[in-house]
Amino acid sequence: MTSVDELMDYAEVVERFDPVLGLEVHVELHTNTKMFCGCANLFGGEPNTHVCPTCLGLPGSLPVVNGKAVESAIRIGLALNCEIAQWCRFARKNYFYPDMPKNFQTSQYDEPIAFNGWLDVALDDGEVVRVEIERAHMEEDTGKSLHVGGATGRIHGAEHSLLDYNRAGVPLIEIVTKPITGTGARAPEVARAYVTALRDLLKALDVSDVRMDQGSLRCDANVSLMARGATEFGTRTETKNVNSLRSVERAVRFEMTRQAAVLAGGGRIVQETRHFDESTGSTSSGRTKETAEDYRYFPEPDLVPVAPSREWVEELRGTLPELPWERRRRVQQEWELTDAELRDLVNTGALDLVAATVEAGTTPAEARSWWVSYLPQQANNRGVELAGLAITPAQVARVVALVNSGELTNKMAREVVNGVLDGEGEPEAVVEARGLKVVSDDSALERAVDEALAAQPDVAAKIRDGKVAAAGAIVGAVMKATKGQADAKRVRELVIARCS
Ligand code: ADP
Ligand code: MG
Ligand code: ZN
């Protein structure tokens, strides 16, 4: 076991040091086929069933570039405000690892397809930080190793390892930021917000599944500290394995507190990769970092250069969808939201759900009334994300329609929604099964009103004297007698009519 790291209190860290971040995000494209061969690009599947001589690196096999992957790379570059290379090549990054059968990764080195861009990132309170993009380049994924027999699933202590090459050769785009400076205490939040914004962008572009839990979006977080007021960057560590948005924030914060303690104690930071451990929220030392020279990069001789014509690039620019921030601005106007209301929708993940509910026929206000208070409570109670609730926007829209047509009261609508969430079927089925129907039959209501008036003669007398405010007590009694299934407004009308 390694010793427990000493950590510095976070407030002291940011008082004494300025953090510098560098984020490397790998995104797996969801093309039909792999980057350099015709194998299916599918997550999972029986091990070693989506393989061929090319992605297994067998002698004599030759790669061919996937045109769709190049197209996605250019669209990503354009959406990130990058310049697109006139001409660029692939390079071989040489190293040995069992999950990489060719013993080199076909990547791009000093000639990336896209470079010099930026992404504006909104923090939780609405402040916007511009993150500069150094480059976005094309490469291929490795296979997967499964280490068997150890306690941790890591190679240390394992009895043997299994290799699955289904993922070998899956198209990847690596997006690398320039060093992000000046974020101070908010560095961990900036890191999370950047990956979130990038994920939303890639989703809107429809180029990837962007599932961090399945590894189709992965983030390595570089962190260094420099003493307050220093002009030269400190030595960075690169934390790998960060597979959720929350972990990105935690990993950066942990590294800041760890590095600060080392530096304050007179120690030095070693440039190395580190692993993030979800269960403890800490990072541990991996391998000392190779430098570019170690990889012996050289241009890939088996592939022709990629030289996208300007016409093609402009044509692809025309295929860019409405991007997340443009959509937010439009929605804010159309739905007449304040900045805070919009931010709330974005931060709770409700924006898409509200939009889909509006699409299914409600007004924005009706959709928001469900997705901003009642449904988040239910999600919270059930320990799931809002989007993970077992109700669809279309079902919410149908419940709203039942309320609007007078068939359900608001209270009953909540019960219907609970039924749907509990797996009792479609809203209409829940209405049926739970016997939820507004009692609108006037004769039944009149009977209940008469009974309530007879039970409270003094109140009845007051109403007859014109004190209509007293009607509330009778309405309450009728609602109770009908188990809340009457329309309170109609009951009130009947009470007053009976007493005049
Ligand atoms: P590597 O090949 O080591 O992964 P990359 O250039 O791909 O290097 O990525 C390094 C990342 O770290 C980039 O985002 C870069 O901006 C960032 N970076 C460089 N120097 C520092 C530093 N001193 N502190 C924090 N981040 C840094
Ligand atoms: Mg890198
Ligand atoms: Zn293949």
For 242, phi then psi, to 5°, come to -90, 100
Hey, what CATH topology would domain 442-498 get? Arc Repressor Mutant, subunit A (1.10.10)
Backbone angles phi, psi at 327, to 5 degrees: -60, -40
Closest CA to 30 of 44, 41, 15: 41
Q: What is the dihedral of CA 471, 472, 474, 479, to 10 degrees?
A: 140
Q: Is the CB of 176 under 6 A from ligand 1?
A: yes
Q: Average pLDDT of the chain?
A: 93
Q: Is residue 120 a contact partner of residue 128, using CB atoms and an 8 Å limit?
A: yes
Ligand 1 binding pocket mutation candidate from 222, 225, 242 (most atoms within 8 A of CB): 222
State mean pLDDT over 141-170.
Answer: 91
Nearest CA to ligand 1 atom 15: 22
What is the DSSP code (8-state) at residue 147? E
440, pLDDT greater than 70: no
52 in Cβ contact with 169 (< 8 Å):
no
CA distance 278 to 246: 10
Contacts of residue 465, defined as CB under 8 A and 6 or more positions apart, other chains included, come to: none
Nearest-atom index, ligand 1, CA of 23: 14
- Say what the pLDDT of residue 444 is: 79
- Ligand 1 atom nearest 223 alpha carbon: 25
Pocket of ligand 1 contains residue 93 by CB under 6 Å: no
Q: Which residue from 275, 41, 283, 74 is spatially nearest to 140, judged by alpha carbons?
A: 41
Q: What is the mean pLDDT of residues 471-495?
A: 87
CA–CA separation, 485 and 480 (whole Å): 9
Q: What are the C-alpha distances in Å from 99 to residues 43, 112, 143, 144, 166? A: 16, 24, 5, 6, 10
Cβ atoms 45, 187 nearer than 8 A: no
For residues 408 and 401, is the Cβ–Cβ distance under 8 A? Answer: no
Say yes or no to pLDDT of 420 above 60: yes
pLDDT value of residue 162: 95
Query: Which of 50-59, 346-355, 438-447, 462-471 is predicted with the least confidence, judged by mean pLDDT?
Result: 438-447
- Distant-in-sequence, close-in-space partners of 308: CB < 8 Å, separation ≥ 6: 70, 74, 84, 85, 86, 113
Give the model's pLDDT for residue 447. Answer: 86
- Confidence band for 289, pLDDT divided at 50, 70 and 90: low
pLDDT band of 468, cuts 50, 70, 90? confident
CB neighbours (10 Å) of residue 459? 20
Q: What is the pLDDT of residue 1?
A: 42
Q: Is the pLDDT of residue 31 over 90?
A: yes
Q: Are strands 237-242 and 104-107 parallel, antiparallel or unpaired?
A: unpaired
The residue-averaged pLDDT of 183-204 equals: 97
- Please say if the pLDDT value at position 395 is more than 70: yes
What is the share, in percent, of the chain residues with pLDDT greater than 70?
Answer: 98
Q: Which residue's C-alpha comes closest to atom 22 of ligand 1? A: 236
Q: Which atom of ligand 1 is nearest to the CA of 177?
A: 14
Lowest mean pLDDT among 87-96, 250-259, 483-492: 483-492
Centre of ligand 2 from the C-alpha of residue 24, in Å:
6
Mean pLDDT of 427-452: 84
Instruction: Decide: 222 in ligand 1 pocket, CB within 6 A.
Output: yes
CA distances 227 to 190, 223, 243, 265, 340, Å, are 20, 14, 30, 13, 36
Q: Provide the pLDDT confidence category of residue 288 given band limits of 50, 70 and 90.
A: confident
Q: What is the pLDDT of residue 127?
A: 92
Name the segment(s) of the chain with CATH classification 1.10.10. 442-498
Q: Nearest ligand, CA of residue 291?
A: 1
Residue 259 Cβ inside 6 Å of ligand 1? The answer reads no
Ligand 1 contact, 253 CB (< 6 A): no
